[in-house]
Amino acid sequence: FWGLVAGITDLSIVMENASPLLVNSLVIIKFVNCVFTNDKLQMKELLEDIEETWKIKHTNSEKKILQHYAEKSRTFTIRYAIVLYATWLFYSMTSIVVSGIYMILPTNETYTVKFLYRMDHVLDIDKYFKLLMLHGFISVFYIVSVPIAIDTTFTLYTQHICALFECLRYIANEDAQTSGRLHHCDVTKEPPINTGEFSTADSRICCPQLNS
């Protein structure tokens, strides 16, 4: 932001510093939105509810459903973190790698060290390069960590809710099948020989739906 304001009259400086500023602004907006629009107690209660759900004794099928969606959430979290942290490393290490190459390889060309964003009009990049890179390395790490933490947390909630609905669907199907078996009876069954007749009571025993 400082470099952008200091070089606001230079279009090239504005163009080079606008994209990092835009990314930083989006991350800050995401963080502020998460902090002020979500109650911390409610977020904590959701995590406690997930923990309590896992402590409940489930059937094998219900347990498999919960494990399936938990594994999907875990897989997404790992892949998402790997992609963003890899982006962080490639973005932050580019200047260091290029500088190292020019120092190792013999060349007659003079190379001006470049920072992650345009700061040469404000500071002496060659003099403060290591400190600036350390600052940029740490700051970009935290900037990348914000969307990882927020997005993966909401993914965890979403996958857990999907697992609960899938369990409800499974239980409803099981209840429907059980009810169908209980209500199925042979109405043509002959009455007991000792009574000599087919009474209403006998029909209720043979056919449970008549009890309703």
Check whether residue 90 and residue 144 sit in a common domain: yes
**Predicted local distance difference test score (pLDDT) of residue 200:** 40
pLDDT at 63: 87
- On whether both 88 and 100 belong to a single domain, the answer is yes
The boundaries of the domain holding residue 22 are: 1-37
Q: Are residues 47 and 16 in the same domain?
A: no
Q: What is the pLDDT of residues 29-39, one digit of tens each?
A: 888 888 887 66
Which residues of the chain carry a pLDDT beneath 50? 185-212
Alpha helices in 8-128 (DSSP H): 11-37, 40-55, 60-104
On whether both 8 and 87 belong to a single domain, the answer is no
**C-alpha dihedral over 89, 90, 95, 96, to 10 degrees?**
50
Query: Could you tell me if 148 and 83 are in contact, meaning their C-beta atoms sit under 8 angstroms apart?
Result: no
Q: How many domains does the chain have?
A: 2
CA distances from 191 to 104, 200, 205, 210, 211 (A): 101, 11, 11, 16, 18
Place of tokens 């504005």: 14
pLDDT score of 147: 92
The pTM assigned to this predicted structure is 0.68
In a domain, 137, yes or no: yes
86 and 26 together in one domain = no
Residue 93: per-residue pLDDT: 79
Measured distance CA(29)–CA(17) in Å, rounded? 18
